[in-house]
Amino acid sequence: MSDSDSPDTQTAGIVAATTSRVVAPFAAAFGLFTTFHGTSSVGGGFQGGVVVAATVLLLAFAVGPGRVRAALAVPRSPALAAGGVLGFAAVGVGPVAFGGAVLELAAYPIPKPAVYATEVAEVAIAGTVSATLVGLWFALAGDFRA
């Protein structure tokens, strides 16, 4: 019986996997909270994206990268990263379609355009950051299939 097959190692794996599955939804929710409250408190898209990516990596360490890759469609992370960049660019260039200048958020025909545009930008940044970090980790781990 090898070291990795010992009952203590198997129990530790079960405990780590179970604990990670319990903690992951709360950590992901905190990442989203951090993303959405970046305009009014400490946080923002970058910090929220890092927390969400760390949650995915926590699960990858606990249950195995193959299972996480299959469950979360990790090969689509480059598309999510590119979509975040496009979303961020759309917030900046979008006012031109409404007769304004680049980054003139008041040109949007909605109430409180700066608040909503900033939230969209924060979500776009979070998506780009989390997808990039997760994609890089899986690529470095040798378990990334695009």
Amino acid in position 92: G
């929710």: which residue's tokens?
A: 29
Amino acid in position 88: F
Alpha-carbon torsion 86, 89, 91, 93, what sign?
negative
**Residue 1 confidence (pLDDT):** 45
All structural domains of the chain with their residue ranges:
3-140
The residue that leads in pLDDT, 47 or 69, is 47
Q: CA separation (Å) from 101 to 85, 110, 125?
A: 20, 16, 22
| pLDDT (tens digit per residue) in 100-146 | 999 898 899 888 888 888 889 999 999 999 999 998 998 888 755 54
| pLDDT (tens digit per residue) in 5-32 | 555 556 668 888 899 999 999 999 999 9
**Residue 146 confidence (pLDDT):** 46
**Residue 65 confidence (pLDDT):** 85
**Rounded CA separation 3/8 (Å):** 9
Residue 50 parent element (H or E): helix 45-63
Q: How far is residue 105 CA from its own chain's centroid?
A: 25
Confidence of residue 87 (pLDDT cuts 50, 70, 90): very high
**Residue 3 confidence (pLDDT):** 47
| pLDDT (tens digit per residue) in 51-86 | 999 999 999 988 888 888 888 877 788 889 999 999
Beta-carbon count within 10 A of 61 CB: 15
